Chains A and B, each alone.
Chain A
């Protein structure tokens, strides 16, 4: 393992070494990855296993609102919902976090206080990431000072795609330093990375740069999170732990709308990365509409009758 660690340190010593390392990673078998993801999606999860999966998925949700039209009122309502997703049921767990723009962090904090629901802020010129480094760092500092527990940064996809890996690496290192105690999630925007090989490379690059979480997408680009992309990322965090002993979390975001989808992801987490990752500390869903579907399914399992969207808040 020590030799693994030192070789990782060597890999980041220069642009050429990093390129050699990333391009030396084994390629992803595209057909194989898609087939494996589809196969895992056919597992049948019923009754008590389903109840467990739904509660776990609720605990993993980063309840997200990232719109230009966000208002303090909407963020307060979202925060209240994150703390008590189903007001009619005391046993319903709270979500992992709310995810907002940096200027909304203060309003979320007012409502959430010390409820245990974290506040994640998207920073570094989200969603495009097209700004100078000092502006990105100032964005991060703003969010941290306002009370964010987690920072979701976007990588510079332009730099990554044109092969300037060390630049991307150093930017993540700099943002990580600016985060202080806040956890850092690194968004790849896999919909713009073109190939699974690139997803594997960027996953390693971000983990070596110190990411606590690697996240698929901003939710602003289609396709957002998909099962095969998440599979490749889960393999990367598994392999990274084998080499370094350090665990990194995974967060698919965007496009996950139904409980059925969420459960497919959980099955994949268990089968690919392992049960250690089946915790809100190591796996999250970036979602907004997913929560209502989880709540409807939960209510269906408790009451034995189908529920409807009229009984849950719009958000």
Chain B
């Protein structure tokens, strides 16, 4: 058999895109899929369409992973985030190709966005063991006490990721887990393919299963269940563009006093501020008696 004959007879290995829950890649419990097209409207992939039960399972896994993840040293979390950046760097050709397919970007632009996404991981990895010094500290009090405040992670955070399929996702994801939270992310409905590839990167970067859980599907369907879920401690609404829907979600998030980050216009390529981290941190203040 000649080489050209072999190419002709080879059967395509098509990929089944699945969800990322608890470190595994399961299909949706509902068995549903939806079709994703590329920027020119041609068929690109079949994606799993997550249901509310997938969201529930994801929250359960995120809760299960919280103790271990938040209990790690900040330094160790930083190392793991940096590792994600390293592994992404090795797969940057794939990411660039996917961005060009999904959004029809030029090669140069795709390269810019992938580089920015990798750098974003590194930026937040650096913050992981420094945020406590910046947002916490020793407080002067009138009394024989050593009084200090330290930021602590809120718990399980639900995130509705914005449109930017890679940089947008990394920009909302990295700050939440850098500080020790675990999360359930609803990926951009329009461009979920790079999100699942990112999940594959995270699954092979020493990130414990359940710290990040990624759902693909309709944010309109899944987000209300996450917003009202009593075991979710915060919700990031960045990906919600309709102000009425954002208001409704914030209202149902109020039942258990979730921390809410409202959607606001932002330039993804610019250097971020600390608010994405501080929104999902709680300050613990300790009064420690001092000897005389």
B56 CB–A CB distance under 8 Å:
yes
A307 contacts B231, CB within 8 Å? yes
A300 to chain B, nearest CB (A): 9
The residue on B at minimum CB distance from A309 is: B231
What are the residues of chain A within 8 A of B225 when measuring CB–CB?
305-306
B230 CB–A CB distance under 8 Å:
yes
Q: Interface digits, A297-310 against B, CB 8 Å rule (1 contact, 0 not)?
A: 00000001111111
B33 CB–A CB distance under 8 Å:
no
Q: Give Cα distance in the complex from A304 to B56, angstroms.
A: 13
What are the residues of chain B within 8 A of A307 when measuring CB–CB?
230-231
Q: Give Cα distance in the complex from A307 to B256, angstroms.
A: 10
Q: Give Cα distance in the complex from A309 to B64, angstroms.
A: 11
What are the residues of chain A within 8 A of B191 when measuring CB–CB?
none
B240 to chain A, nearest CB (A): 18
A306 contacts B252, CB within 8 Å? no
What are the residues of chain A within 8 A of B231 when measuring CB–CB?
306-310
B229 CB–A CB distance under 8 Å:
yes
Interface residues of A in 282-315 (CB under 8 A from B): 304-311
B56 contacts A305, CB within 8 Å? no
A306 contacts B59, CB within 8 Å? yes
A306 contacts B255, CB within 8 Å? no
Q: Give Cα distance in the complex from A308 to B230, angstroms.
A: 5
Q: Give Cα distance in the complex from A154 to B189, angstroms.
A: 57
What are the residues of chain B within 8 A of A305 when measuring CB–CB?
225, 228-230, 252, 255
Q: Give Cα distance in the complex from A308 to B59, angstroms.
A: 10
The residue on B at minimum CB distance from A299 is: B230
Q: Interface digits, B32-48 against A, CB 8 Å rule (1 contact, 0 not)?
A: 00000000000000000
The residue on B at minimum CB distance from A304 is: B228
The residue on A at minimum CB distance from B52 is: A306
Partner of A310, one of B59, B228, B230: B230
Q: Interface digits, B156-190 against A, CB 8 Å rule (1 contact, 0 not)?
A: 00000000000000000000000000000000000
What are the residues of chain A within 8 A of B56 when measuring CB–CB?
306
Q: Give Cα distance in the complex from A306 to B156, angstroms.
A: 14
**Candidate in A308, A309, A310 with the most chain B CB atoms within 10 angstroms:** A308
Interface residues of B in 254-289 (CB under 8 A from A): 255-256
B277 to chain A, nearest CB (A): 24
What are the residues of chain A within 8 A of B255 when measuring CB–CB?
305
What are the residues of chain B within 8 A of A311 when measuring CB–CB?
230
The residue on A at minimum CB distance from B229 is: A306
B225 to chain A, nearest CB (A): 7
Q: Give Cα distance in the complex from A310 to B59, angstroms.
A: 13
Interface residues of B in 42-95 (CB under 8 A from A): 56, 59, 63
Q: Interface digits, B221-241 against A, CB 8 Å rule (1 contact, 0 not)?
A: 000010011111000000000
What are the residues of chain B within 8 A of A308 when measuring CB–CB?
63, 229-232, 256
Q: Give Cα distance in the complex from A304 to B63, angstroms.
A: 20
What are the residues of chain A within 8 A of B230 when measuring CB–CB?
305-308, 310-311
What are the residues of chain B within 8 A of A306 when measuring CB–CB?
56, 59, 225, 228-231
Q: Give Cα distance in the complex from A306 to B231, angstroms.
A: 8
**Candidate in A306, A307, A309, A311 with the most chain B CB atoms within 10 angstroms:** A306
Q: Interface digits, A207-251 against B, CB 8 Å rule (1 contact, 0 not)?
A: 000000000000000000000000000000000000000000000
Q: Give Cα distance in the complex from A307 to B252, angstroms.
A: 13
The residue on A at minimum CB distance from B227 is: A305
Interface residues of B in 192-235 (CB under 8 A from A): 225, 228-232
Q: Give Cα distance in the complex from A309 to B231, angstroms.
A: 7
Q: Give Cα distance in the complex from A308 to B225, angstroms.
A: 13
Q: Interface digits, A250-272 against B, CB 8 Å rule (1 contact, 0 not)?
A: 00000000000000000000000
Q: Give Cα distance in the complex from A304 to B230, angstroms.
A: 11
**Candidate in B225, B231, B255 with the most chain A CB atoms within 10 angstroms:** B231
A301 to chain B, nearest CB (A): 13
Q: Give Cα distance in the complex from A102 to B63, angstroms.
A: 37
Q: Give Cα distance in the complex from A309 to B230, angstroms.
A: 9
What are the residues of chain A within 8 A of B252 when measuring CB–CB?
305
Q: Give Cα distance in the complex from A308 to B232, angstroms.
A: 8
B232 to chain A, nearest CB (A): 8
A44 to chain B, nearest CB (A): 12
B221 to chain A, nearest CB (A): 15
Q: Give Cα distance in the complex from A310 to B229, angstroms.
A: 12
What are the residues of chain B within 8 A of A304 when measuring CB–CB?
228
**Candidate in B59, B230, B256 with the most chain A CB atoms within 10 angstroms:** B230
Q: Give Cα distance in the complex from A58 to B229, angstroms.
A: 23
A298 to chain B, nearest CB (A): 13
The residue on B at minimum CB distance from A306 is: B229
What are the residues of chain A within 8 A of B228 when measuring CB–CB?
304-306
Q: Give Cα distance in the complex from A311 to B256, angstroms.
A: 11
What are the residues of chain A within 8 A of B232 when measuring CB–CB?
308
What are the residues of chain B within 8 A of A310 when measuring CB–CB?
230-231
Q: Give Cα distance in the complex from A309 to B156, angstroms.
A: 13
Q: What are 24 contact pairs spanning A and B, CB under 8 A?
A: A304-B228, A305-B228, A305-B229, A305-B252, A305-B255, A306-B56, A306-B59, A306-B225, A306-B229, A306-B230, A306-B231, A307-B230, A307-B231, A308-B63, A308-B229, A308-B230, A308-B231, A308-B232, A308-B256, A309-B63, A309-B231, A310-B230, A310-B231, A311-B230
A305-B229, A308-B63 known; 8 new pairs, CB 8 Å cut-off, are A305-B230, A305-B255, A306-B225, A306-B228, A306-B229, A308-B230, A308-B231, A309-B63
Residues of chain A at the chain B interface (Cβ within 8 Å) = 304-311
